[in-house]
Every structure is written in C-alpha cells, then in structure tokens.
A and B are shown apart, each in its own frame.
Chain A
Amino acid sequence: MTSDRRPDPDQLLEAITGEFKRQAGGRLRIFFGACAGVGKTYAMLQAAHRQQESGVHVCVGVVETHDRAPISRLLDGLPQLPARGLPHQSPSPQEFDLDGALALHPDLVLIDELAHANAPGSRHGRRWQDVEELLRAGISVYTTLNVQQLESLNDVVGDITGIRVREVVPDQCFDAAHDVVLVDLSPEDLLHRLEDGEIYPPAAAQQARNHFFRKGNLVSLRELALRRLADRVSVDVRAYRNHHAIDGVWPTDERLLVCVRADVAHEKLIREGSRLAQRLRADWMVVHVDESRRSRHPLEREALLRLAKLAESLGAEFLSIPGEHVADALLECVRTRNATRLVLGHREARWRSPWRKSLARVIAEANPEVGLILLQPSPPSAIPRKRISRPSVGAKALLLSLLACGLTTFVAALLLRVFDLSNVVMLFLLTVVLVALRWGKAAGALAALVSVASFDFFFVPPILSFHVSDTQYIFTFVLMLVVALVTGQLAARLRSEATLATAGERRATALARVARDLSAAMTTEQIVAVCTDTIAPMFASRGALMLPDLDGRIPNDAAFDAGVAQWVYEHVQPAGHGKSTLASADAEYLPLKAPLRTRGVLALRAEGQASAAEPDDRRLLDACCALIALALERIHFVDVARDTLVRMEGERLRHTLLAAVSHDLKTPLTAIRGMAETLETMEGLSRDERDLLARSIHQQADALHRLVVNLLDLARMQSDGVRLNLEWHAVSEIVGSALASLGTTLGDRRVHVDLPADLPLVELDANPFERVLVNLLDNAAKYTPAEATIWIRAMAMGDTMYLCIDDDGPGLPSGSQPEALFEPFTRGVKESSITGVGLGLALCRSIVAAHGGTIEAMPLMPRGARFEIRLPIGKQPEVESEMLP
C-alpha cells in the first residue's frame, strides 16, 4: 500500500470515537419495512429468539400482537416486561414502561412501533425518545419502523398515498441506528396475505385494500423503502472505506442553506432540503430572515416555531437572522457559513415590479459560486393543509388612515379659503407621510391613493366629480401619487428599522444587564437572586435556579418539580412545557451547561401568555443560561480556590504548632525522665534531695498536663467550632474552681480575691471559662517573681461584667503591642525555659470571644500587668423569690 492511500487521521479519529460511542451505549437495530404487514414484528421476534438462545438477556418491552397467532406463538418463549398502567386511562394500546426497563436493565429490549406517540403524562412524548434513553443507559433495542413514518419522507408518502401519518420518527434516529434490517415482501405476496386475513380482520382488510393497500401505493412505498435503505447502505460503505483505507470516495464538504419564510407551506422546503442534504452527505441549516418584527402575526410565529422544530428534528440547525433586506442577510449568511448551495422557495415574480430583481437573481448576481435550488413551496397536494394567510396589516390601521384622509380633506377645505390650491396639496402629502410613519407601508399606500382621489373629487374643478377639466391636473395627480407613495414607503421603512433596532437593543441591553449582574455575583445566592429577579421577569415568567447538592440530587422545591429538574440535570436536555420531553409539566426546565459539567437547572413558569417562543427570545434565553452556567462554574472555582487557601493556611498553622509543641513537650518530658532516672539509680541521695526531685517531677507533670489540656481544647474548638454549653453561673464559683485546680502552681504568691457578693449571674460555659482563668493565673505565676501578689477582681457596670487579673510583676514585655500577645505562638519572651506554646492567651481570646466578650492586656502603673475580661451580662434568669418565714 502506498503512503498516499493512508486514511486521513481525522477521519480515523472520528471513526474510532464513533466506535467508542457505539460501544458505550446500547445498540439499536431497526426492522424496516415498506408498510404494515410485511412481517417486521415477526422478523424481530425471530431475531430475538436467536439472541436469547445465545445467552443474551432478552426482554419484550412492548409488542402488539393484533391477534395474530404466529406473533403470539413467538412471544410465548420471551420474558415480558409488564405494561405500564396509567391512571385515568382507558385500556388503550399498551404503553412501554421505561422506568421498569431501566430498573430491570436487560441486555436487549424489544419495542414494536418506534414511531408510536406515548400517552399524555408519559415522560417522553414519543417512543423513539424512550428508546434513546434506553440506548444511553447501555440497553440494546430491537424495534420496527415503516417507511412512511420517517420524518423526511412523511410528505412524499402522504402525497403518494393520500394518507398522512402523524406519528413520525426523526431521520437522525434512523441514521444513528447500528443496523437497519429491511423486511421485504413483494406487493403481490402482501396483497395475498391481506386477503388471507393475516394482516387485518376481513372487514378491515377490505377497507384497507380500497385505500392504503392499493397496488400502486405498495410499489411506490417499496421503492421508497429500498431507496432510503440504499442511501443508508452507501453511507455505511463509505464509512467502511474510510475505515479500511479504501480510496476513491472523496468526502464532500457541501453545505446546504435552506431559506424559509414564516409560512407552514415552507415545510416542504425543509423536507426537500433534508433529502438533498442526505444525498449530498452535506451539513445543512435552515435560515429565516426576520425582516420586521413589529407586524408579526401570532400565526406567523406559530408557523416559524413549527418550521424550527421540523428543521431540528431533521438534524438541521435553525437560524433566525435579523435583517431589513432578505438578499443581503442571506448573502451574509452564505458567506459566514460557507454554504455551497442555497435552497429558495420560488414564488416571487407574480407581484414583483418588473424593475425589481427577484431574490434568486440578486443572489445569483452577487454570489455566482453558490448553487441555487429553487423550489415551489406550496405543494400541489390533495391533502388539506392549514394555509396561513399573510397577516393582515390590520383593518384598524387602514380605517384610521382613511379617517386621517377625511380629516385632512376637511381641514384643506377650510384652508382653501385662505391659501392657494397648490399649497393645499402639501397638506395631503404630509398626511401620507404621517400615516405611513404611524401605521406602516400598506396604510401609507392607501392614504396616498385616497388623498389623490379626495383631492381630485373635492378640490379640482369640476368639484365633487372625478372628472378633470384641466389636463394640468393629471400631471399633478401622477406626481402627487408618486411622491406620496415614495415618501410614504420611505417613512414606513424608517419606522420599521427603528423598531427593529429598538427590539435588538432591548435584548442587547437585557443581556448586558444580566451579564453585568452575574459577573458581579460573588455567591450562589446572588446568582439565584439574578435568576429570579432579573432573568425570569425578562421572559414574563416566574423562575427558580435549581442546584444539585453534593450527591448530584436536586432538592425538592415548593414551586417546581424536582423530578423533572433531576432528569434535565442528568440528561443535559431541556424538558417540560413546550419541549418534547415531559411536556405535561407546566414549567420549562433548561440545563445550565458549563464547559466542565452541568451546573444546575433553570426552571421557568410562564405567567399568563406563553413567552420565549420567538426565536430571538429563545436565543436570549439560551445566552442567559450559558451566562448563568458560567457564573456558577466561576463561583465553584472561587470556592475551590478559597478552600485550598484555607487548607493551606491551616496546614501552615499545624506545622508551626507541631514544631512549637514538640519543643514544649520535650522539655518537661526530658526533665521528668532525667529526674526519675536520678531517683532510680543514684544511691545515697539525701532525703531532701530526693524530695526536691520528686516535687520537680510533680510540677513538670502538672505543666505538661496543662499544656495538653490547652492543646486538646484548641483542637476541639477548631474541629467542631465553638459549641458552648451555656448556663447561668456565679463568677465566684468559677474563680474558686480555677484557684482550686491550680493547686500549688501559684506557690507563695498572695492571691487577693475581691468579688462583690451581689455580682449578677453570667451565662457562660463553665469549663472553657475556667480554662481562661487558669491560663491567666498560670501566666501570672509564670512571669512574676515568687513573692508577687495577684488580684482577682470583678464588678458589674451597666450590662457589662469586668473581670480583672492583676499582678505586680515586671509587667508586659516592652516593645510589643499588647494585642499581639493573644496571637497563637506569641510569647513575651522567646525561647525561654518557661514552657507553654503561647497557646494559652490565644485560647483565652477565642473562648472569651465565643462568649461575646473581649479580653485585653494592659500595663499597670507603676508596675505589673492587668488582663481584663469584659462579658455581656444579659437578662438575668428568673429565680422564684422565696417566701420568707
């Protein structure tokens, strides 16, 4: 094999990823036939039996027997999934139980009639959507399909047979199937079967024979099915060739653009475009040029929506581009999208003025490279079709313009007494301009005509007659009519452009506001507020942002359905009102897809009139969703970054702590061990020496104990936050308890306790608060000489309790801020022999702060230091007064 026959790497990659996708999901096999009765279900069941024999777990999802014995016999050997019972439903055709199948998770599910429309209230509107969900869940599916049920062939088949099928399957679904098996039967054999009653009961069979099952129909349908399958096979062959480096077939890079008007008749263009695109293997899109929004009729809007839905279901991208000139807008689109072919509805010429070029000609002249395909949009078919009339400009506007002309005539009659007739003509021109400006082109044109007529009738002699005596006036009329029409049209266009610009600007402003609000949001709550307060009102809806919790579950919401939101979140597809999935919900649910993953769901419930139906509003809503998702992702990463920072800070603190603690723990441990060994081994120690050693060990152990207690307290406060067990306590008890627990630590220092007997109770947690006093007193003992005096004082002033621990020692360390003493690992004297990590005061501060109080260190004059705690007193608890005897 030569090197230039090597396959294109990109194509290979695509093929590989394609394989992957196929392996990841389940496999879809479609048993495809020309019409009912060719034996698709029978073939499917036979294939299922073969699968079951080779050990595959097969399960029958839903299969209609239509009382046909062979089918029932084949069904017998296969396990059946129970049909889903819908409440308030008459025993209707069986409904497939999607959740049941997902829960059972067999290898293969058999589902008859892919095009079936599900009963209202089901999750999806169509059965093929159920199938897609099964495939995504990794369950393979066998299903059946008739050719007339393919969306792109729907109208062709309708034209041939005169019967329009409403239950259709998008071509994407058909094309994405792993394999399609054609179940074929010649028309003669089919008719035999029909006559033998193998398809319908005899009575129905006769009727069918007269209508659908005419031989001509059957031949055409068979041809269509074969051709459609041949298309598919050729694609498969090409894919195979690409894969296996067989050269000779060039991938086309055709791009098809189908231009439609807001008219259901243009559905045909879309279907035709789809077939064409398929044959060309081209990317294709449907474009609608939005000329003027002001006069959009509701029917037009509905038609546009239908076209958009159809285009999307056939796999096209639907674009609605604003523009005053269809040709310019189209040419721009052709250029930016690199379209090679343009499909146009060819219906002009009838009322175009001869000097105005048709759209096709303008485009052909401006861009000769693009291949133009002109189609007749309204098909000559027998099928009654809901034609949408061009929206009436509004009888009201025309009436008003007539009224304006009448008024002008009246005023002109008055003015004619003063002014010349030629000046009065100007008044009519003014009226035409104003009418066109106010009510649009048609009203302007009418006003021009009526004005000329009225001028002739009322003012040109002979008066009150259309006769004109002076031929001069003929020229005046013509001139007046032309001027009136031209200025009127210009004015109307001015107006329509202004409205266009205003509407565009309104959206741009709204989007800018949303973008600004969202970029300013720093918390998820703010984003929620933007959604409910800014975005939802833009679409005249009530909205909610539904965010998943850590497990990816969307919590219940009072106003919206969390179940639907959950589905949307998991499948990243919109659902709810106006969507093909879960359409029975009264609100619409849109996934918020950020670059990394889906961040949540935006729920909107329209208030009053349905909103967001216009393509532009849709685009605005999509843009808003993207913005919200991005904002949510940004905040997620801000949170991640902050958490990391906090963790790093905590880590740093732990390292410092560990270093400090290991020093402070080792010092007393070394001392204890050394002294204990001395006691153990040294013979002949005097009794005094032994007592001294033992006492030192005791003191070191006490110091160690206090350090450990502080550490444990600090660890507990950091791990579960400060959880206080608040009770009303007498300060004197806590002081007493602290003094008792210090025991001999204070040595010979004098301690004066000065607590007024009438001190109010304080609400505090006694144990941590005792720690505060123990630490402060321990400090006082550590940093003062042995003969120092310590005062403990308390007093209540207003609603604050002051508790002071004073000493007359050397005072606070000079040169450092008193507040700095309360930082962890700060000690007045660095690296001294006095143990204590400098945790004591930091712990004191956190405990006091947790009680809503403050602690301060201050120097005393002439010497000494004071630690002052201030605590809020609060409302005293009730104590029933005792009845004194």
Chain B
Amino acid sequence: MSKPRILVVEDEADIRHFIRLSLEREDMTVFEAGDAMQARIDAASRQPQLVIVDLGLPDGDGKTFIRQLRGWSTAPVIVLSARDHEQEKVDALEAGADDYLVKPFGVPELVARVRAQLRRASIVAGDGVAPSALVFGAVRVDLATYVVTRDGEPVHLTPIEFRLLAALSRGHGKVLTYRQLLLDVWGPGYADRPHYVRVYMANLRQKLEDDPARPQYLMTELQVGYRLAGLGKGS
C-alpha cells in the first residue's frame, strides 16, 4: 500500500511545519496549503486521502472549502478549531467534516486521529460492503442479528439504545453531532432535544463501558456530539 497522502490547509506556517514533521515520521506524504485557494488546487491535483483544515483561513471560511470538497471527494476531513467556538465545530461537522481537533493539540492526539480516520476510510471504502459486525474493546455488535455481547455475555439493549449504537458505529469513529444522531435515531421531530441523546448515552455507557465516567469507546465531544472510538472490524 502506497504512503497515505495528506493535505494540510493551515495559514500558520509553524503549525503546518510541525504537523508535516509529525505525519512524515508516520510514513505519510504531506502537502501544505496556506489558504483556501491553494487548498482547492491541491485537493484536486494531489487527490489526498485525508484533509486537515483550519477553520479560520485568510481568504475564506474553512466550512465553505469543506462543502466544496464534499461535492467530489469522500476523503476524511479533520477540522482544527479554537476552543470556544462550539457552534463552528458543529457547523463544520454538519458541512461534511469527520472529526475535529481543538487548538492547542498534541502530536500524539493528531496522529491517532489521522490514523483512525484513515482506517475508517479504508473500512468504508475498502471492500465496498459495510461490515455486519463491529468490535470495540470487549464489546461485539452484530448489526444484522441485533446481538450485542460483552466479554461473550449477551447485553440487553432497548431498541433505541441499539439504534443509537448502530448510528455511532456506522460513523466509524466520525464525530456525530447531537442533531445528526437525533435525526438518525429519533426522527425529525426531535432535533432540538439533545438531552434525549445524553440520557441514552448514559445508559449505553452503563451497559458497555468499564468505567462509565471515564469512557474508552463512547466518547463525549462536549457541546458537539459523540464519537465511537477504538473501533475494529468484526471477524
């Protein structure tokens, strides 16, 4: 398999530089773009397998770029954003981004997210068929038979709990906003009731996590949504 091609769109040269160094050490090819214009050209010509976009670009809005990119590419997009702009993150995710990183972020976290997104892309695009079973930690979810086991023991989930888990696993590690989850699991009438998701997520964590207060897999993205981490392909 050839080296993954990563496009980094960021106006700050130092940040671009250390992202490049970190990713190249992970054996990836990195292209840099300083503004949205350059990013569009590179995205089209280099065919990157993953794009890292800063939301605040000198010549335009990162969200607009994501929306344009989504018109013709399914490559995962990781957004870089400042901490206190929750709505911006939500907007970017709903525009088509897959994950986000809050500045300042560490190198290990960046690499982990990039790897997770690449793996997810390969699962989704790799064999063309969605896998019928998923594994995270000791939990195995069979999407076809609705059977969930933890350490081999069956776990009883209510229909909504199962639909929520299924929605998260379909995301394959993508951050799903409250709105996306509410629309997917409950339907359009519930889009403004985020506490529904919180109540059911708490139930799921009680049933599936070792330490519900410090979850390993059912991750909270505060004020944004949820993400299922550590997902592997069911055997």
A interface list, Cβ under 8 A from B: 698, 701, 705, 709, 712, 716, 725, 727-730, 732-737, 739-740, 743, 753, 755, 757, 761, 766-767, 770, 792, 877, 879, 882, 884-885
Quick check: which of B68-76, B115-123, B190-198 contacts chain A, the rest being far away? B190-198
Q: Nearest Cβ distance between residue A704 and chain B, in whole angstroms?
A: 9
Q: Nearest Cβ distance between residue B219 and chain A, in whole angstroms?
A: 8
Listed by A's residue number, 8 A-B pairs whose Cβ atoms lie within 8 Å are A725-B223, A727-B194, A734-B222, A736-B215, A740-B214, A753-B213, A761-B199, A885-B159
Q: Nearest Cβ distance between residue B209 and chain A, in whole angstroms?
A: 10
Which residues of chain B are within 8 angstroms of A727 by Cβ–Cβ distance? 194-195
- CB of B212 within 8 A of CB of A732, answer yes
8 further contact pairs, Cβ within 8 A, besides A736-B220, A792-B213: A698-B106, A725-B223, A732-B205, A732-B212, A733-B198, A735-B213, A877-B195, A879-B196
Q: Nearest Cβ distance between residue B210 and chain A, in whole angstroms?
A: 12
Which residues of chain B are within 8 angstroms of A701 by Cβ–Cβ distance? 104
Which partner residue on chain A sits nearest B86 by CB separation? Answer: A767
For window 168-209 of B, CB contacts with A under 8 Å fall at: 193-196, 198-199, 201-202, 205-206
For window 80-95 of B, CB contacts with A under 8 Å fall at: 83-84, 86
- CB of B198 within 8 A of CB of A882, answer no
Q: Nearest Cβ distance between residue A738 and chain B, in whole angstroms?
A: 9
- How distant is the Cα of A884 from the Cα of B158 in the complex, in angstroms? 7
> Could you say which of A728, A739, A766, A882 contacts B213, with CB atoms under 8 Å apart?
A739
Contacts known (A737-B220, A882-B160); A728 close to B206, Cβ less than 8 A: no
Which residues of chain B are within 8 angstroms of A885 by Cβ–Cβ distance? 158-159
- Is B211 engaged at the interface, CB distance under 8 Å to the other chain? yes
Contacts known (A701-B104, A877-B195); A733 close to B214, Cβ less than 8 A: no
Which residues of chain B are within 8 angstroms of A879 by Cβ–Cβ distance? 195-196, 199
Interface membership of chain B positions 9-44, coded 1 if the CB is closer than 8 angstroms to chain A and 0 otherwise: 000000000000000000000000000000000000
Which residues of chain A are within 8 angstroms of B205 by Cβ–Cβ distance? 732
Contacts known (A753-B213, A757-B206, A882-B160); A733 close to B220, Cβ less than 8 A: yes
- CB of B222 within 8 A of CB of A770, answer yes
- How distant is the Cα of A725 from the Cα of B206 in the complex, in angstroms? 27
Across chains A and B, the number of contacting residue pairs, with CB separation under 8 Å, is 71
- How distant is the Cα of A877 from the Cα of B190 in the complex, in angstroms? 13
- CB of B84 within 8 A of CB of A712, answer yes
Q: Nearest Cβ distance between residue B202 and chain A, in whole angstroms?
A: 5
For window 38-61 of B, CB contacts with A under 8 Å fall at: none
Which residues of chain A are within 8 angstroms of B195 by Cβ–Cβ distance? 727-729, 761, 877, 879
Which partner residue on chain A sits nearest B223 by CB separation? Answer: A766
- How distant is the Cα of A701 from the Cα of B193 in the complex, in angstroms? 38
Identify which of A733, A767, A879, A885 gathers the most chain B CB atoms within 10 Å of its CB: A733
Which partner residue on chain A sits nearest B158 by CB separation? Answer: A882
Contacts known (A727-B195, A733-B198, A884-B158); A753 close to B222, Cβ less than 8 A: no
- CB of A767 within 8 A of CB of B220, answer no
Contacts known (A737-B220, A755-B213, A767-B86); A732 close to B202, Cβ less than 8 A: yes
- CB of A709 within 8 A of CB of B83, answer yes
- How distant is the Cα of A546 from the Cα of B173 in the complex, in angstroms? 63
Which residues of chain A are within 8 angstroms of B201 by Cβ–Cβ distance? 730, 733
The 7 closest A-B pairs by CB, nearest first: A728-B195, A753-B213, A737-B222, A733-B220, A730-B202, A732-B213, A730-B198
- CB of A733 within 8 A of CB of B202, answer yes
- CB of B214 within 8 A of CB of A753, answer yes
- How distant is the Cα of A761 from the Cα of B196 in the complex, in angstroms? 11
Which residues of chain B are within 8 angstroms of A743 by Cβ–Cβ distance? 106
- CB of A753 within 8 A of CB of B211, answer yes
Q: Nearest Cβ distance between residue A129 and chain B, in whole angstroms?
A: 59
Which partner residue on chain B sits nearest A702 by CB separation? Answer: B104
- How distant is the Cα of A625 from the Cα of B161 in the complex, in angstroms? 72
Which residues of chain A are within 8 angstroms of B212 by Cβ–Cβ distance? 732, 755, 757
B interface list, Cβ under 8 A from A: 83-84, 86, 104, 106, 158-160, 193-196, 198-199, 201-202, 205-206, 211-215, 219-220, 222-223
Q: Nearest Cβ distance between residue B227 and chain A, in whole angstroms?
A: 12
- CB of B158 within 8 A of CB of A761, answer no
- CB of B84 within 8 A of CB of A730, answer no
Which residues of chain A are within 8 angstroms of B215 by Cβ–Cβ distance? 736
Which residues of chain A are within 8 angstroms of B199 by Cβ–Cβ distance? 730, 761, 879
- How distant is the Cα of A882 from the Cα of B158 in the complex, in angstroms? 8
> Could you say which of B160, B198, B206 contacts A729, with CB atoms under 8 Å apart?
B198
Which residues of chain B are within 8 angstroms of A740 by Cβ–Cβ distance? 214, 219-220
Q: Nearest Cβ distance between residue A884 and chain B, in whole angstroms?
A: 6
- How distant is the Cα of A9 from the Cα of B214 in the complex, in angstroms? 90
Which residues of chain B are within 8 angstroms of A729 by Cβ–Cβ distance? 195, 198
- How distant is the Cα of A737 from the Cα of B225 in the complex, in angstroms? 12
- How distant is the Cα of A766 from the Cα of B197 in the complex, in angstroms? 15
> Could you say which of A712, A728, A735 contacts B198, with CB atoms under 8 Å apart?
A728
Which residues of chain B are within 8 angstroms of A753 by Cβ–Cβ distance? 211, 213-214
- How distant is the Cα of A643 from the Cα of B198 in the complex, in angstroms? 45
Contacts known (A767-B84, A767-B222); A761 close to B198, Cβ less than 8 A: yes
Which residues of chain B are within 8 angstroms of A755 by Cβ–Cβ distance? 212-213
- How distant is the Cα of A736 from the Cα of B226 in the complex, in angstroms? 13
Q: Nearest Cβ distance between residue B25 and chain A, in whole angstroms?
A: 15
- How distant is the Cα of A733 from the Cα of B84 in the complex, in angstroms? 18
Q: Nearest Cβ distance between residue A327 and chain B, in whole angstroms?
A: 85
Which residues of chain A are within 8 angstroms of B214 by Cβ–Cβ distance? 736, 739-740, 753
Identify which of A698, A729, A732 gathers the most chain B CB atoms within 10 Å of its CB: A732
Which partner residue on chain B sits nearest A733 by CB separation? Answer: B220
Which residues of chain B are within 8 angstroms of A770 by Cβ–Cβ distance? 222
Contacts known (A705-B104, A770-B222, A882-B160); A736 close to B213, Cβ less than 8 A: yes
Identify which of B86, B104, B223 gathers the most chain A CB atoms within 10 Å of its CB: B223
- How distant is the Cα of A8 from the Cα of B84 in the complex, in angstroms? 73
Q: Nearest Cβ distance between residue A393 and chain B, in whole angstroms?
A: 82
Which residues of chain B are within 8 angstroms of A736 by Cβ–Cβ distance? 213-215, 220
- How distant is the Cα of A659 from the Cα of B202 in the complex, in angstroms? 45
Q: Nearest Cβ distance between residue B155 and chain A, in whole angstroms?
A: 15
Which partner residue on chain B sits nearest A768 by CB separation? Answer: B84
Which residues of chain A are within 8 angstroms of B206 by Cβ–Cβ distance? 757
- How distant is the Cα of A736 from the Cα of B221 in the complex, in angstroms? 10
Which residues of chain B are within 8 angstroms of A730 by Cβ–Cβ distance? 198-199, 201-202
Q: Nearest Cβ distance between residue B231 and chain A, in whole angstroms?
A: 18
Q: Nearest Cβ distance between residue A553 and chain B, in whole angstroms?
A: 36
- How distant is the Cα of A737 from the Cα of B224 in the complex, in angstroms? 12
> Could you say which of A698, A709, A733, A877 contacts B222, with CB atoms under 8 Å apart?
A733
Q: Nearest Cβ distance between residue A766 and chain B, in whole angstroms?
A: 5
- How distant is the Cα of A739 from the Cα of B213 in the complex, in angstroms? 9
- CB of A882 within 8 A of CB of B223, answer no
Q: Nearest Cβ distance between residue B235 and chain A, in whole angstroms?
A: 28
Which partner residue on chain B sits nearest A761 by CB separation? Answer: B195
- How distant is the Cα of A879 from the Cα of B160 in the complex, in angstroms? 13
Q: Nearest Cβ distance between residue B224 and chain A, in whole angstroms?
A: 10
Which residues of chain A are within 8 angstroms of B158 by Cβ–Cβ distance? 882, 884-885
Q: Nearest Cβ distance between residue B121 and chain A, in whole angstroms?
A: 25
- CB of B222 within 8 A of CB of A766, answer yes
- How distant is the Cα of A884 from the Cα of B162 in the complex, in angstroms? 12
- How distant is the Cα of A770 from the Cα of B83 in the complex, in angstroms? 12
Which partner residue on chain A sits nearest B178 by CB separation? Answer: A727
Q: Nearest Cβ distance between residue A822 and chain B, in whole angstroms?
A: 23
Which partner residue on chain B sits nearest A738 by CB separation? Answer: B222
Q: Nearest Cβ distance between residue A106 and chain B, in whole angstroms?
A: 53
Q: Nearest Cβ distance between residue B189 and chain A, in whole angstroms?
A: 10
Which residues of chain B are within 8 angstroms of A733 by Cβ–Cβ distance? 198, 201-202, 220, 222
Contacts known (A705-B104, A727-B195, A879-B195); A767 close to B213, Cβ less than 8 A: no
Which residues of chain A are within 8 angstroms of B86 by Cβ–Cβ distance? 767
Q: Nearest Cβ distance between residue A369 and chain B, in whole angstroms?
A: 86
Which partner residue on chain A sits nearest B102 by CB separation? Answer: A741
Identify which of A709, A730, A734, A735 gathers the most chain B CB atoms within 10 Å of its CB: A730
Which residues of chain B are within 8 angstroms of A712 by Cβ–Cβ distance? 84
Which residues of chain A are within 8 angstroms of B222 by Cβ–Cβ distance? 733-734, 737, 766-767, 770
